[in-house]
Amino acid sequence: QSWQFVTEELQGEVQYEYAAEFANRISEKTDGAITVEPLEFGALGSEVDQAQLLQQGGVELAVMSPGFTGNQVQDGQIFSLHYFFPSDQEQVQEVLTNSEALNQDLRAKYEEHGISPLSYWTEGAMAWSSNAGIESPDDWSGLNIRVQESPLMRETYAAYGATVQSLSWDELYTALDRGTVDAQENPIFFIQSASFHEVQNTVTVSNHNNYVAMTTVNTDWYNGLDDNVKEVVDETVAEMQNWVFEEQTAQNQEGINAIEADTDSPTEIIELTDEQIEEFREVAEPVHQYYRDEVSDIDQDIFDKLQEEIADVMGE
């Protein structure tokens, strides 16, 4: 058997390296009876196109960012709330790996659309890049930020006074360079790897949320696998949680070092103080309730359960 595993990133970046490591492990465990082909972003269209391809069974596996299915699976937008998950990365990963709200209930929502998320993992804390230098919510006033395909992001940034625009990431460098978009959000490794720092003067280490990715499979395909094959897939997905946590930690550390070392494109790194983060948190928190109570088709039970699970992990 041969399976295709599409990713939203390029060789060397976290998602692609994940798919490549997954492929090696599957091939080893099955003595080569199953081969998995990792695919870089680009050949199969935009991130939204790739999500549709997985849904239609055009590929078996995909690393998918919930931000690109925000119009289809409303509940997946929960990851784009600001200052909702813990600020500590290990706690974030603990929630993503063990949460019943995510791994059972949210998974069921995705399965209504033919997408089975087998795991959720962080690619790192989100940071903002801009020329303006974001240090307080007011600094967002009048700026246009590129976000993924998620209606909730509009509300979140509107609370700060910004407008949003949805684009595929492969159009983003040019948009920032030309100034048609003022700012963007991504984990540090990706800001460096996609060279966004070359066309932005500052990076704000805001930790406003995490870049969450999902390991997904086409639901019908997965359900049709022999039990022993399904077990190999599930076991490998579970093992990969620690692997990818270490991979993203290393890549984000290397990313910040590389930005600092890039004297051709000097980029100011703005570390927010606790007081500054508090200012953002105050503006962002009402959006949590807005999401829970006002966004149509949101399952409030998932929100409530996840909120409790987060509090438990944080020891509250």
Q: How far is the CB of 71 from ligand 6CS (least distance, A)?
A: 15
Residues between 103 and 142 with contacts to ligand 6CS, criterion CB under 6 A: 123
- Write out the H or E segment, with its range, that includes residue 184: strand 183-187
Half-sphere exposure of 110 (CA within 13 A, CB side): 33
**204 is a site residue for ligand 6CS (CB under 6 A):** no
CA separation for the pair 281, 162 (Å, rounded) = 16
Of 65, 74, 119, 122, the one binding ligand 6CS by CB under 6 A:
65
Output 101 or 194, the one with its CB closest to ligand 6CS. Answer: 194
**8 is a site residue for ligand 6CS (CB under 6 A):** yes
Output 9 or 75, the one with its CB closest to ligand 6CS. Answer: 9
The sign of the torsion formed by the CA atoms of 90, 96, 97, 100 equals: positive
Q: Which stretch binds ligand 6CS (CB under 6 A): 29-37, 109-117, 186-194, 306-314?
A: 186-194
Q: Which stretch binds ligand 6CS (CB under 6 A): 77-85, 89-97, 184-192, 196-204?
A: 184-192
Nearest CA-CA partner of 34 in 10, 16, 61, 15 = 61
**200 is a site residue for ligand 6CS (CB under 6 A):** no
Burial class (CB in 10 A: 0-12, 13-18, 19+), 276: middle
For residue 296, the tally of other CB atoms under 10 A from its CB is 6
**47 is a site residue for ligand 6CS (CB under 6 A):** yes
Collapsed DSSP state (helix, strand, coil) of residue 285: helix
Binding-site ranges for ligand 6CS (CB under 6 A):
8-9, 47, 65, 123, 148, 169, 186-187, 190, 211
